[in-house]
Amino acid sequence: MNIAAARLQSGRQDIAALASNENPDGCSPRVAAALTNLNPSRYSDPACTALRAALGQKLGVAVDRIVAGNGSEEMIAAVCRAVLRPGALVGTVCPGFGLHEIEALANGANVEKVAMRADLDFDVPAIVAMLEREPAIFFLSSPSNPVGPALDRESLARVLAAVSPGTLLVLDEAYFEFTDEDLPDGLAALSATDLSWVVLRTFSKAYGLAGLRVGYSVMSDARLARAVAAAKTPFNVNAAAQVAAVAALEDEAWMSSSVSALKRERARVANAVAAIGLASARSQTNFLFIDVGRDSSAAMAHFLSGGIIVKPWKEKGYETFIRVTIGTPAENDRFLDALCAFARG
Ligand SMILES: Cc1ncc(COP(=O)(O)O)c(C=O)c1O
């Protein structure tokens, strides 16, 4: 639900939008400054030359292995279109990010899902068993959306050791910037292998550019990158998004300071949720996945009546969970007050 719809339904103006994992701090001031120099009459650069050069430099990756997208979600679609044939097996995790399944199904694949463990962490032996069946693609979001944990070094190594040459591993790191420092950088870990892989990252979360729609994929080799680029539309990343993303990369200090503050808030909110007596998953993201103990749709309606948008989970076995974004301290306080009232009611 977006803010306009929430205003209509709740009759309140002061909406706390905590359903889409956006950055409540906005974005670097350099983005607004860069956008003033834009010429909207010209088509955008189809090759995203400046953005890919900036990313190549930041990541230490050759630009011919980077493709920029209209959000990383477009890259999920392009990878599926480039790689999948009807009847192919695609593996992923449940609960998981919907588009990993939806785009695979749209390209005729059969999708099978590995459940998270009851303690809401990755079931590494089950993921390994699925990989041993050599799916055409295995989509893994680590950190996990919607649950929150990220694979540690040992678990990631076990997963990578199980990937066969016939499988494309798509590691979706949309929340990479929020992970603790002792956790692995998936791009670095995959770069040290000779596997076929794609790493997805985005400017929508830590960099605060969700509305402009810009993300990217880094591929194991240039041939795969060409195939993915061929599966997107030519002017997929608009001119404003390209300029904004480059400006955001020039101000990593803004992003790091915003992420640090959000991580402190994440710890505060998680402790408060536990103090209310509710369980939430260990999170390496900018959200929490909370078992509210009752139907998530009822919880959503309760929060909405207080002007707070949360995401109710609907996947089987998780119907009592909501996903809530870490907002500003004031928004988080509002959420916690409403959660307390829901838990008591
Ligand atoms: C795991 C994951 N992947 C990809 C995306 C898509 O992000 P975007 O298209 O905004 O880059 C999201 C957005 O919520 C996400 O959570």
In this structure, what CATH number is given to the domain that contains residue 263? 3.90.1150.10
Domain co-membership, 52 together with 197: yes
Residue 230: closest CA among 42, 43, 45, 46: 46
Domain co-membership, 231 together with 294: no
Residue 172's pLDDT is what?
A: 98
Residue 294: closest CA among 245, 343, 261: 343
Domain termination site, one of 249, 264, 286: 249
Domain co-membership, 187 together with 327: no
- Which residue's CA lies nearest to atom 8 of ligand 1? 71
Domain co-membership, 181 together with 319: no
The pLDDT tens digits of the residues spanning 28-45 come to 999 999 999 899 999 999
Question: What's phi and psi for 74, nearest 5 deg?
Answer: -65, -30
Residue 54's pLDDT is what?
A: 98
Task: Output the CA torsion 254→255→257→258 (10° steps).
Answer: 110
Q: Which two three-digit tokens encode residue 314?
A: 């609907």
Which ligand 1 atom minimizes the distance to the CA of 204? Answer: 10
Domain co-membership, 45 together with 153: yes
Q: Where are the alpha helices (DSSP H) in the chain?
A: 3-10, 29-35, 49-59, 72-83, 98-106, 124-131, 153-161, 186-191, 222-230, 239-249, 252-276, 296-305, 329-344
The H or E element spanning position 69 is strand 66-69
Q: How many domains does the chain have?
A: 2
Residue 254: closest CA among 328, 177, 188: 177
Domain termination site, one of 207, 234, 249: 249
Asked, as a colleague might, if the bond just before 29 is cis with ω within 30 of 0, I would say: no
Residue with tokens 């870990």: 189
Domain co-membership, 284 together with 262: yes
Residue 345's pLDDT is what?
A: 81
Residue 17's pLDDT is what?
A: 97
Domain co-membership, 147 together with 283: no
The parent domain of residue 299 ranges over 3-26+253-344
CA distance 167 to 189: 17
Residue 291's pLDDT is what?
A: 97
The amino acid occupying position 18 is L
| Residues of the chain scoring pLDDT < 50 | none
Domain termination site, one of 249, 271, 288: 249
In this structure, what CATH number is given to the domain that contains residue 49? 3.40.640.10
State CA 339 to chain mean position distance. 25
pTM: 0.97
Which ligand 1 atom minimizes the distance to the CA of 97? Answer: 1
- Which residue's CA lies nearest to atom 15 of ligand 1? 174
Domain co-membership, 165 together with 106: yes
Domain co-membership, 269 together with 123: no
Which ligand 1 atom minimizes the distance to the CA of 210? Answer: 10
Which ligand 1 atom minimizes the distance to the CA of 141? Answer: 1
- Cα(73) to ligand 1 centroid in Å equals 6
Domain co-membership, 155 together with 286: no
Domain co-membership, 53 together with 185: yes
Pocket (CB within 6 angstroms of ligand 1): 21, 71-73, 97, 141, 145, 172, 174, 202, 204, 210, 215
Residue with tokens 């990989």: 131
